[in-house]
Amino acid sequence: MTDKLVIALAQMTQSVGDLKANADAMLEWRARAAGADLIVFPELQLIGYPPEDLVLKPALVDRANHELDRLAQATADGGPAMLVGTVVVSQGVLFNVVALLEDGAVTAIRQKRELPNYGTFDEKRLFAPGPLPAPIDFRGVKIGVPICEDIWFPFVTAHLRAEGAEVLISPNGSPFEVDKDDRRINAVAGTRVRETGLPLVYLNRVGGQDELVFDGASFVMGADRSIAHQLPDWEEALVLTHWEKWEGQWVCIPGDRHELDSRPADIYNAMVLGLRDYVNRNGFPGVVLGLSGGIDSALSAAVAVDALGPDRVWSVMLPSRFTSQDSLDDAVECARLLGIRYDSIGIEPAVAAFDTMLADVFAERQRDLTEENLQSRIRGVTLMGLSNKFGHMLLTTGNKSEMSVGYATIYGDMAGGYSVLKDAYKTTVFDLSRWRNENVSSLGLGPSGPVMPERVITKPPSAELREDQKDEDSLPPYEVLDPILYGLVEEELSVEQLVARGFDKDVVARIERLLYVAEYKRRQSPPGVKLGIRNFGRDRRYPITNAFRTL
């Protein structure tokens, strides 16, 4: 029985569905972990997470088995054993598992017990829950392996402790949300360590996968709840942790403890990494976006440059007769500060063509929102034309406040392939813009100075679809609107509960109505980076046809 262990933690990215590439990467990282007894990989690292309905394809499960055997055979060389997340079918039932590979074989498999089925997670749709797992005996050491959600409740870890586990190693696929670091460390890991008296390894992945972004931030917590290792957020990292048995208790020798991003740097980096991986993994040469001179498009352009570099970002101003000179000047200056390509394509010829084309059927009607939306749709068609012709993905620029109340044009400014601001309220957009003008993203490929003129941040927001238009003509001020929306969306509060917080009853009732009736638009919006606890898409799933109101 050993009294020393070296456990390598592989905080790495993934490629969902590319099993060979994932297996090859694990073998490369294993080679770099020379001297370790065991190398641990994140949850479902072999197939990628979340796999969604891919895991229902028998061909994927067959390939996973093949690649797992290949990984197992590689351990016959006497190097580190591997703890690998994958899927297995047993008696016709699919399980989310970890497999221990050593000495050329699969020597143990443990199944995930707690299957999350809320928010972004649909694991009960895909997997069967495993039994309460026994510890894995590794070189005489009993290691408990609770998989991700297994540590969010006390049952699995309590059982492992009762079965003699000496160390807990938890492979995770835990996506970023604001303030999640504190919940992971204190509310979850700290509670399980206090209950069991066992040290815990928390290993997470990094990288973007559609709407989710994984921030890493893995750590090792001692039995006294001290942090022995804190891995960085947003970056891949391989760390060899050294363990010794002191007076019957396994102890991790302290190592590096990286400082994690605070707000709003964490939100900004989530946007950068999410967009970078989405664009690169889907094979786009770059992005194109409408640069209006407003704050949303300016911030979207800055995130795109930090994600992809200025050479892969193309900005286009699409002025109409309602576009102010300030907006024209601010768009040019944004492009200059970011070092990106800038073109201006006036939409008035197309507007005139539509006016002529529709003149007869619109003859008995006054000009209204229809003509405003036509301008937005002309811009969307133009940008999609550029995207089709040159291959750049169209990046949309709408924020969560607008999407909540339907202050966005379907088939117009909502047209596109991805939205970095989809889960960012307008007040968050202001905060991020101020932060980026004064700071540099740790992941960024963009300039170190300001990325937008100060006037973009300070001028009143406007869609500029009619004379002297301001957002506040149609909506409450954002410092009022956003807390109401947060209460309705994130907290699921009623009108009465928000009125009790001091908000005007009529205003809240109107916003609730707008929120519900805009559901059909949101169903047709592009994916975007999840930032908070209730994003539109995977987290919040409301019926489009819905007569319920709280007032």
Whole-Å CA distances, 1 to 34, 138, 140, 142, 143: 21, 10, 5, 11, 13
Taking the C-alpha atoms of residue 260 and residue 174, their distance in angstroms, rounded to an integer, is: 16
Q: How is residue 504 written in tokens?
A: 């005007």
Task: Characterize 350-389 residue by residue with b for buried, 16 or more Cβ atoms within 10 angstroms of its Cβ, and e for exposed.
Answer: bbeebeeeeeeeeeeeeeeeebbbbbbbbbbebbbebbee
Beta pairing, strands 93-102 & 105-111:
antiparallel
Q: How many CA atoms lie within 13 A of 429 on its CB side?
A: 30
With H, G, I as helix, E, B as strand and everything else as coil, classify residue 333: helix
Taking the C-alpha atoms of residue 113 and residue 149, their distance in angstroms, rounded to an integer, is: 8
Q: How is residue 475 written in tokens?
A: 């909506």
Marked catalytic residue, from 43, 67, 166, 464: 43
Is 148 among the residues known to form the active site? yes
Is 422 among the residues known to form the active site? no
Marked catalytic residue, from 67, 112, 123, 422: 112
Strand order in the sheet with 200-203: 136-138, 141-144, 167-171, 200-203, 219-221, 227-230
Phi, psi of 273 (to 5 degrees): -70, -40
Report residue 538 CA to chain centroid gap. 11
Marked catalytic residue, from 114, 148, 149, 422: 148
Phi, psi of 133 (to 5 degrees): -85, 145
Task: Characterize 436-463 residue by residue with b for buried, 16 or more Cβ atoms within 10 angstroms of its Cβ, and e for exposed.
Answer: bbeeebebbbbeeebbbbeebeebebbb
**DSSP state letters, 460-521:** PP---SSTT--GGGTS--HHHHHHHHHHHHTS---HHHHHHTT--HHHHHHHHHHHHHTHHH
State the distance between the two ends of the chain, measured CA to CA, in whole angstroms.
67
Q: How is residue 309 written in tokens?
A: 């570099």
Task: Name the residue among 297, 470, 289, 308 with its Cα closest to residue 382.
Answer: 289
With H, G, I as helix, E, B as strand and everything else as coil, classify residue 125: helix
Q: Write out the catalytic residue numbers.
A: 43, 112, 148
